[in-house]
Amino acid sequence: MKTTMNFSIKNNNMKMIIILLTFLGVAQGCEDTDNTYYPPPEQSEVAAKYYLTTPDKSNLLTLQTNGIFALTDNNNFTINVSEGTTYQEMDGFGYTLTGGSASLINAMSTSARESLLQELFGTGENSIGVSYLRVSIGASDLDATTFSYNDLPDGQTDENLTNFSLNPDMANLIPILNEITAINPDIKILGSPWSAPTWMKSNGSTIGGELLPQYYSTYANYFVKYINGMAAQGITIDAITIQNEPENPYNNPSMVMTAEQQKTFIRDHLGPTFQTENIATKIILFDHNLDHPEYPISILNDATAKSYIDGSAFHLYAGQIDNMSVVHNAHPDKNVYFTEQWVQAPGDFYSDIRWHIRELIIGAPRNWSRNVLEWNLAADPNSEPHTDGGCTECLGAITIDGNNVERNPAYYIIAHASKFVPAGSIRIESNYSTELPNVAFKTPNNKIVVIVLNNSEAQETLNINTSQESITTTIPAGSVGTFVW
Positive or negative, the CA dihedral 307, 310, 315, 316 is positive
Confidence of residue 45 (pLDDT cuts 50, 70, 90): confident
What's the confidence (pLDDT) of residue 72? 85
- In which band, very low, low, confident or very high, does the pLDDT at 73 lie, cut at 50, 70 and 90? confident
Q: Are residues 315 and 453 in the same domain?
A: no
What is the C-alpha to C-alpha distance for residues 289 and 279, in angstroms, rounded to an integer? Answer: 28
Do 285 and 311 touch, CB atoms closer than 8 A? yes
Please determine, for residue 436, whether its predicted confidence score (pLDDT) is greater than 90.
yes
Same-domain check for residues 276 and 242? yes
Examine the domain organization and report whether 109 and 66 are in the same domain: no
What proportion of the chain, given as a percentage, has pLDDT over 70?
91
CATH number at residue 345: 3.20.20.80
Are 260 and 317 found together in one domain? yes
Mean pLDDT within 374-388: 98
Mark whether 372 and 395 lie in a shared domain. yes
Q: Is the pLDDT of residue 54 over 50?
A: yes
Q: Calculate what percentage of the chain has a pLDDT beyond 90.
A: 90
Same-domain status, 208 and 307 = yes
Question: What pLDDT, on a 0 to 100 scale, did the predictor assign at position 297?
Answer: 98
Pair 51, 140 in one domain: no
Q: Do 437 and 409 fall into the same domain?
A: no
In which domain, by residue range, is 165 found? 91-423
pLDDT higher than threshold 70 for residue 38: no
This prediction's pTM: 0.90
**Could you tell me the CATH number of the domain that includes residue 460?**
2.60.40.1180
pLDDT digit string, tens, across residues 418-429:
999 999 999 999
Averaged over 453-464, what is the pLDDT? 97
d(CA 426, CA 350) in angstroms, rounded, equals 29
**pLDDT number for residue 130:** 98
**Average of per-residue pLDDT values in the chain:** 92
Domain count, the chain: 3
Is the pLDDT at 17 greater than 60? The verdict is no
End residue of a domain, out of 402, 423, 444: 423
Instruction: For residues 117 and 132, state if they share a domain.
Output: yes
Render pLDDT for 175-211 as a digit per residue (tens, 0 to 9): 999 999 999 999 999 999 999 999 999 999 999 999 9
Q: What is the phi-psi region of residue 222: left when phi exceeds 0, alpha when psi lies from -120 to 50, beta otherwise?
A: alpha
Residues 123 and 250 grouped into a single domain:
yes
329-373 confidence digits (pLDDT tens): 999 999 999 999 999 999 999 999 999 999 999 999 999 999 999
Residue 462 has pLDDT above 60, yes or no: yes
Residues 256 and 174 in one domain: yes
Same domain, 190 and 267: yes
Q: How far apart are CA 125 and CA 119, in angstroms?
A: 9
